[in-house]
Amino acid sequence: MVGFTHDISQIEVFKGSQSTIFGANSIGGFISVNSNDPTEKLEARFNSSVGSDGFYNVGATFNLSLSKKLGLRISSSKNYSNGFRENIFLKSKTTNKRDEIFSKVKFYYKPLKNLSFLGTYIYVDQDNGYDAWAPDNNEKFTTYSDSLGFDSQLTRGLSLESNYQLFDDMKITSITSFSNVELNHSYDGDWANNDYWLNEHGFDPELEYYEYKFFDNNDRKRKNFTQELRTSIGSLVLGVYLKNLKEEDKASGYLYGGLATDSESMYNFLSSATYAQYEFMLTKKLKLKANIRYEESDISYESQSEDNYYYTPIDEVNTEMPSSMVGYSSVLSYSMNKSINYYAFISRGYKAGGVNQEPNLSRANRIYDPEYIINGELGVKSYKSNFRNNLSIFYGQRLNQQVSISSQQYPSDPNSFLFYKSNATEGRVSGLELESKYYSKKYEIGLNLGHLKTWVDDFEFELGIGSSQKAGKREMAMSPNFNGSISFLGYLQENLYINIINTYKSEYYFSDSHDYKTSAYNLTNVSFGYFFNNIEINLWVRNLWDKVYETRGFYFGLKPPNFEDELFKSFGDPRQSGLSFNYNF
């Protein structure tokens, strides 16, 4: 979503498990996006872009200082592109469109010297199409569906951060947030039309007495409330965190292999956590930081499905799953001097279990349990002259590992293709990461390299009605062995620059439930920029060499009349070029 990069001050990437303190839990790292806060200056910014594939973007930001105690910042952006697909049946190039609006209002109020409030309101409107798959796996981005799919979202969110400096070394922080999200996901389940199936595969609806035509629609309403309260006393941090998420789902179509035409469900997730952290100096150069987090969660799920064709009774699903989890971390860092720092890190992270919604699943597969990971990491960070280098090696043992399974319940029905989560026994991850950057007055060179080795033990999952299959004993899905990037930023003149970024990713498994892999690929992005006074103009090209690369892969039976299982792939965006304009008032 392009709006999330508009008026942003900082993007932080936290690697590894974050099951310790501050906010929500994460087992595999998370990305923290911090937008600009109101300032005391009057400020205005305007940006716009145009490009190929019908792309355009318009954004504006205004900062108002209403008084010394009150500030207001308003930002909004509109983004549109056709979506890089051409539907030859519907004769349209917008069936996979990306049409997004992102708006944000922030206020800062400091009524007292030791009391401040920061409030945020966000509004997101995504009216995106969904038409990304084709039965022939063509690499020309041509689709054949006869029903429009959507991947839309309407989000409204509020948050309030309150800070009270009780004493010089004691601070109390409260963060309250609420969001209301309406989502729609719908798609053409057979990815084609009657003419295509007749001409390419000989499927004649008049002879078969039915149309090979499927469509699914899913509407969701999600309300989420979180409350965090923490206090810091010197080097000690104590806090509590509460989350309550409620979701209502309504689905219609040829559901669960034709067993249902309509389905309604209610999902309720309640989580509470307490945490503590303490940081102290063992010597002048040796520092230890340790923290622990205890969390309890309760998940309840209810669903009712109806068959309005044959009125066949369908069992209701009513499941509840409580769990409790403990995470901790400890990092020992040694500052050899001002420019070199060594560290050793150990942690225990967790990921809550959950409920699979598919009514056809057996009770054994209805729920999946929490996953845990024990991480260890050694690293060094150095800052010398014009060089910055970070090197780390890590190892993780995953216990009760959660895996994503896909299976087709009925061979002749593509809409009976379902996803659910299960637990394997154990898994392992290990690797090495290097981040290096060189600075000078005229150019910057960056190098990022990553090597990852993974393994998941064997496990068994349901393949269909009355059958199962074993998987595992191999590398994890979506885990390339090698990835990296090299970047160059050079100033051709004082106000003219070129920026080149090349990224690489090795092959990896599409899924935990089949053994097909992506191809390795590298992508190159280039931009030329010119700035003068308060204006910046940027000419850019993404995917310069127009590489075709896979992003997802499903393995199931789609094509009549035999419905043999085969791999179907979707692809990343082709080459796109454009021109951007930025102006600061």
- Residue 30 clears pLDDT 80, i.e. is over it: no
Residue 494 confidence (pLDDT): 86
Q: What percent of the chain is helix, strand and coil (3-state, nearest 5)? A: 5, 65, 30
The pLDDT mean for the chain works out to 90
pLDDT tens-digit map of 167-192:
999 999 999 999 999 999 999 999 99
Percent of the chain with pLDDT over 70: 91
pLDDT tens-digit map of 475-505:
999 999 999 999 999 999 889 999 999 999 9
- Pairwise CA distance, residues 500 & 528, whole Å: 9
Percent of the chain with pLDDT over 90: 71
Q: Which of 26, 1, 31, 27 is nearest to 13 (CA)?
A: 31
Q: From start to end of 130-211, where are the E strands?
A: 142-143, 150-167, 170-188
Confidence of residue 466 (pLDDT cuts 50, 70, 90): low
- Pairwise CA distance, residues 241 & 226, whole Å: 7
Q: Compute the average pLDDT of residues 93-104.
A: 97
- Residue 24 clears pLDDT 70, i.e. is over it: no
Q: Compute the average pLDDT of residues 365-373.
A: 88
Predicted TM-score of the model (pTM): 0.90
Lowest mean pLDDT segment, chosen from 41-55, 357-371, 514-528: 357-371
Residue 9 confidence (pLDDT): 76
- Residue 410 clears pLDDT 60, i.e. is over it: no
- Pairwise CA distance, residues 168 & 325, whole Å: 34
Residue 335 class from Cβ within 10 Å (0-12 exposed, 13-18 middle, 19+ buried)? middle
Residue 199 confidence (pLDDT): 95
Residue spans of alpha helices (H) in 292-416: none
Residue 257 confidence (pLDDT): 66
Residue 2 confidence (pLDDT): 43
